[in-house]
Amino acid sequence: MSYEKVAEDSDFFIVTHDVTNLYGETELLRQKAISATELMSFSMDIAAEKQLFILDACHSGGALDAFATRGDGREKALAQLARSTGTFFLTASQDAQYANEVGDLKHGLFTYALLEILGGELGDNGDSKITISEIKLYVEDRVPELSEKYRGSAQYPTSYSFGQDFPIVILK
């Protein structure tokens, strides 16, 4: 999967394997890909009180533009949804960055950092719980470090959230 912006409008799309042309094929993207607007709609329709969306794809920070847009009721709707719950989006890169893969790590940099903290080896504050906020802080520090080491330039994860933090892993 990759993530692309359509020039004619400001929507971003999660592009699936069967999309073969990203440029000049807006209708194909609308039919086969998942727009950031659709992703936001999915999150609002999910009954779960705790939600975590992880997008490990190039330009994935562009999805957050749809969530941060003010004035059309979307932000208010998400805020109401997440008031006593938690809705979090973590993305591998900013809207104009690639999400780098490194063969030596056998993963993309973002996934590698996620696996490090979820494994409990790093990033826990000592309470034996790994929360979404701890994950966010860890990947925001670790991914640029890894990308400098393996690629020579920084990759910056980004995030968007409403509501309460919650644990996702309880360590033994």
Do residues 135 and 90 touch, judged by C-beta distance below 8 A?
Answer: yes
Nearest-CA neighbor of 160 among 57, 96, 88? 88
In this prediction, residue 146 has a pLDDT band, given cuts at 50, 70 and 90, of very high
pTM of the prediction? Answer: 0.79
- Interval 13-72: pLDDT, tens: 888 778 877 777 778 888 888 888 888 888 888 888 899 999 888 888 888 876 666 455
CA separation, residue 133 to residues 66, 124, 125, 163, 165 (Å): 21, 11, 11, 11, 6
- The candidate with the shortest Cα–Cα distance to 81, out of 30, 42, 35, 44, is 44
pLDDT for the residue 81: 54
Cα–Cα distances in angstroms (integers) from residue 102 to residues 112, 117, 156, in the given order:
9, 18, 16
For 116, the enclosing helix (H) or strand (E) is helix 109-118
Look at residue 123 in the predicted model and tell me its pLDDT: 61
Q: Give per-residue pLDDT as tens, 85-114.
A: 788 999 999 888 888 889 999 999 999 999
